Amino acid sequence: MIALVAALLVFLEPLRFAAEALAVAPTIWYRGTLAIVELIAHGLVAALSAAAGLSLWNGSPDGARLARFAILAVTARSFQSLTWSVLPNNTPPGSELLYGGVAIAISAVALLILRRHHTVKTTLPITSPDSSRR
């Protein structure tokens, strides 16, 4: 399950950002400074998400902590895009609450998987290869 969270962090948010950037790039100058700042912020969240996913995938000691922060950042970005955005989106009017609820549910499941993985990992006894010879 932790590999699924890592894969979602590595692929989902960066691909969403790439699609958004490609859709907005031709008209970014007409949209103004706020659109540029928003697009840069979304890019930073995508970079954080990819870094957290790779860190989690490679078993970095702080991978779970970075992944938690990235999941919260992606959720905040989702709410920002749903409630206030100068960039275009394909959200049907009136469905923002539903999409926000889905974002919270997915984030909660991912955070629970991270927590379970971290507690299982820390409660297992650490044995060295030489301990069996003694």
* Own/partner long-range contacts of 123-130 (Cβ < 8 Å, ≥24 apart): none
Total count of domains within the chain: 1
Per residue of the chain (134 residues), give pLDDT as tens. Answer: 888 999 999 999 999 999 999 999 999 989 999 999 999 999 999 999 999 999 999 988 888 999 999 999 999 999 999 888 888 877 878 888 898 899 999 999 999 998 887 665 555 555 555 555 55
Distances from the Cα of 88 to the Cαs of 2, 13, 22, 35, 67, in angstroms? 33, 17, 12, 10, 28
Please say whether the beta carbons of 48 and 70 come within 8 A. Answer: yes
What pLDDT sits at residue 127? Answer: 57
Q: Which domain holds residue 6?
A: 2-132
Gap between the Cα atoms of 101 and 94, Å rounded:
13
What pLDDT sits at residue 76? Answer: 94
What pLDDT sits at residue 123? Answer: 54
What pLDDT sits at residue 62? Answer: 86
What pLDDT sits at residue 95? Answer: 85
pTM for the complete prediction?
A: 0.82
E strands along 53-92, which residues? none
What pLDDT sits at residue 60? Answer: 86
